[in-house]
Amino acid sequence: MREASLPKRIDAANQKAIERLFQADPVLVDVIPAKEAIPALVDHTILHAGPPIAWDQMCGPMRGAVVGIAMFEGWADDLRQAEELASEDEFAFHPNHHFSAVGPMTGMTTRSQPVLVVENRAFGNRAFCTLNEGLGKVMRFGGNDASVLARLAWLRDVLGPALGAALRKSGGISLKPLVARGLTMGDEMHQRNVGCSSLIVRALAPDLARSVEDHSMLADMLAFLGANDQFFLNIAMAMGKAVMDPVRGIDAATVVTAMSRNGTDFGITVSGLDDQWFTAPVEMPTGLYFPGFTAADANPDMGDSTIVETVGLGGFAMAAAPAVAGFVGAGSAAEAANTTRTMGEITLARNPEWTMPSLDYQGVPTGIDIRLVVETGITPLINTGIAHREPGVGQVGAGVVRAPFDCFEKALTALADRLEVV
Amino acid sequence: MNCCVNQVRRGLFLDSVVLMQVSRTVAALPGVEDAALMMGTPANQEILENSGLLVPDGESAGGGDLIVAIRAEDETAATAAMDQAVLLLDHPAAVRAASAAVQPRTLRSALRVDPNANLALISVPGDFAAAEARKALRAGLHVMIFSDNVSLDDEIALKLEARQRELLVMGPDCGTAILGGIPLAFANHVPVGDIGIIGASGTGIQEVSCLIAQAGAGISHAIGVGGRDLSDEVGGISTLTALEWLESDPKTRHIVLLSKPPSAAVVERISAELDHSRKSFTVCFLGAEDLPLPANAVAARTLRAAAASASGFQEDTSGGTGLARPLAGERKWVRGFFSGGSLAAEAQVIFLDQGIRVTSNAPIQGAHALSEVTAGHTLLDLGDDQYTRGRPHPMIDPAVRDDPLRQALHDPTVGAVLLDIVIGYGASEDPAAHVARILGHHGNRDPVVIASVTGTEEDPQVLSRQVSILDSAGVWVRPSNAAAAEAALACIVA
Amino acid sequence: MTRPPEDRKTAEPDQSSIGLNLLEAPIRVVNIGLQKFADDLVGQDVEVVQVDWAPPARGNTRLANLLSRLMD
pLDDT in tens, B253-287: 999 999 999 999 999 999 999 999 999 999 999 98
The model's confidence at residue B370, banded by pLDDT at 50, 70 and 90, is confident
Q: Which residue of C has its CA nearest to B182?
A: C44
Q: Could you write out the three-class secondary structure of chain B?
A: CCEEEEEEECCCCCCHHHHHHHHHHHHCCCCEEEEEEEECCHHHHHHHHHCCCCCHHHHCCCCCCEEEEEEECCHHHHHHHHHHHHHHHHCCCHHHHHCCCCCCCCHHHHHHHCCCCCEEEECCCHHHHHHHHHHHHHCCCEEEECCCCCCHHHHHHHHHHHHHCCCCEECCCCCEEEECCEEEECECCCCEEEEEEEECCHHHHHHHHHHHHHCCCCEEEEEECCCCCCCCCCCCHHHHHHHHHHHCCCCCCEEEEEECCCCHHHHHHHHHHHHCCCCEEEEEECCCCCCCCCCCEEECCCHHHHHHHHHCCCCCCCCCHHHCCCCCCCCCEEEEEECCHHHHHHHHHHHHHCCCCEEECCCCCCCEECCCCCCCEEEEECCCHHHHCCCCCCCCCHHHHHHHHHHHHCCCCEEEEEEEEECCECCCCCHHHHHHHHHCCCCCCCCEEEEEEECCCCCCCCHHHHHHHHHHCCCEEECCHHHHHHHHHHHHHC
β-partners of residue B3 are B72
Give this prediction's pTM.
Answer: 0.86
Res. C12: pLDDT tops 70 = no
Task: Give the model confidence (pLDDT) of B207-263 as tens digits.
Answer: 999 999 999 999 999 999 999 999 999 999 999 999 999 999 999 999 999 999 999
Q: How large is the average pLDDT for residues B125-141?
A: 94
| Residue pLDDT, tens place only, B316-335 | 776 666 666 777 788 889 99
Residue B108 at interface with chain C, using a CB cutoff of 8 Å: yes
Dump pLDDT digits (tens) for B94-123. Answer: 434 434 568 999 999 999 999 999 999 999
Quick check: B117 contacting C, CB < 8 Å?
yes
Q: Which of A152-161, B83-92, B421-430 has the highest mean pLDDT?
A: A152-161
Which residues does chain B have within 8 Å of residue A348's beta carbon, measured at their own beta carbons?
Answer: none
Is B11–A377 a contact, with Cβ atoms under 8 angstroms apart? Answer: yes
Cβ contacts of residue B289 below 8 Å, gap of 6+?
none
Q: What mean pLDDT do residues B282-293 have? A: 90
Q: Which of B100, B101, B105 sits opposite A376 (nearest CB)?
A: B105
DSSP run (H or E) holding C9? none
Asked if the C-beta of A276 comes within 8 angstroms of chain B's C-beta atoms, the answer is no
Neighbours of chain B (3+ CB pairs under 8 A): A, C
Pairwise CB contact (< 8 Å): B107 & C9: no
Longest pairwise C-alpha distance within chain C: 41
- Which residue does chain B place closest to A345, by CA atoms? B109
**A378 and B CB contact within 8 Å:** yes
Mean pLDDT, chain B, integer: 91
Q: How far is C33 from chain A (nearest CA, A)?
A: 15
Q: What is the pLDDT of residue A214?
A: 96
Contact B64 C23 (CB under 8 A): no
pLDDT at B322: 60
Non-local CB neighbours of A32 within 8 Å, separated by 6+ positions: A114, A115, A117, A160, A164
Q: For chain C, which chains pass the contact test of at least 3 CB pairs under 8 Å? A: A, B
User: Which pLDDT value is given to residue B320?
Assistant: 63
- Other Cβ atoms less than 10 A from the Cβ of A55: the count is 18
B87 touches chain A (CB under 8 A): no
| C52 φ/ψ angles, rounded to the nearest 5 degrees | -80, 85
Residues within 8 A of B (CB atoms), A 235-274 only: none
- Higher-scoring residue by pLDDT: B62, C32: C32
Instruction: Answer whether C63 touches B (CB < 8 Å).
Output: no
Q: How far is A201 from chain C (nearest CA, A)?
A: 41
B180: number of Cβ within 10 Å:
16
Higher-confidence residue of B93 and A422: namely A422
Mutate to test the interface with A, among C6, C53, C60, C71 (most CBs of A within 10 A): C71
SS3 (DSSP) at C63: helix
Residues A102 and A127 sit within 8 Å (Cβ to Cβ): yes
Ranges of chain A with pLDDT below 70: 1-4, 327-330, 422
Residue of A nearest to B110 (CA): A345
- Chain B partners of C22 at a C-beta cutoff of 8 Å? 118-119, 142, 168, 179, 245
Residue C69 Cα, gap to closest chain B Cα (Å): 12
Q: Is the pLDDT of residue B92 over 60?
A: no
Which of the residue ranges B192-201, B338-347, B374-383 would you say has the lowest mean pLDDT? B374-383
Distance from the Cα of residue A112 to its chain's centroid: 20
Residues of chain C neighbouring B101 (CB-CB closer than 8 A): none
Residue in chain A lying closest to C72 (CA)? A7
- Count of CB contacts below 8 A, A vs B? 19
Q: Are B309 and B211 in contact (CB under 8 A)?
A: no
**pLDDT confidence of residue C4:** 34
Quick one: how far is CA A348 from the chain centroid? Answer: 21
Name which of C18, C29, C30, C46 to mutate to probe chain B: the one with the most chain B Cβ atoms within 10 A of its Cβ. C30
Chain A residues with CB inside 8 Å of B138's CB?
none
Q: Which of A120-129, B362-371, B422-431 has the lowest mean pLDDT?
A: B362-371
Question: Which residues in chain A touch residue C10, judged by CB atoms under 8 angstroms apart?
Answer: none
pLDDT at res. B319: 61
Contact A334 B104 (CB under 8 A): no
Please give the helix or strand (H or E) that residue C67 lies within, else none: helix C61-70
In chain B, which residues have their Cβ closer than 8 Å to the Cβ of C26?
180
* pLDDT tens digits, one per residue of B8-56: 998 888 877 778 778 878 988 999 998 888 888 888 898 888 888 999 9
Q: How far is CA B248 from CA B171, B244, B277, B278, in A?
A: 22, 6, 10, 10
Residue C19's pLDDT band (cuts 50, 70, 90): low
Across the range B457-468, mean pLDDT stands at: 96
Has the ipTM of the complex gone over 0.90?
A: no
Report the pLDDT value the prediction gives residue C14, as an integer from 0 to 100: 59
Residue B298 — very low, low, confident or very high, per pLDDT cuts 50/70/90? very high
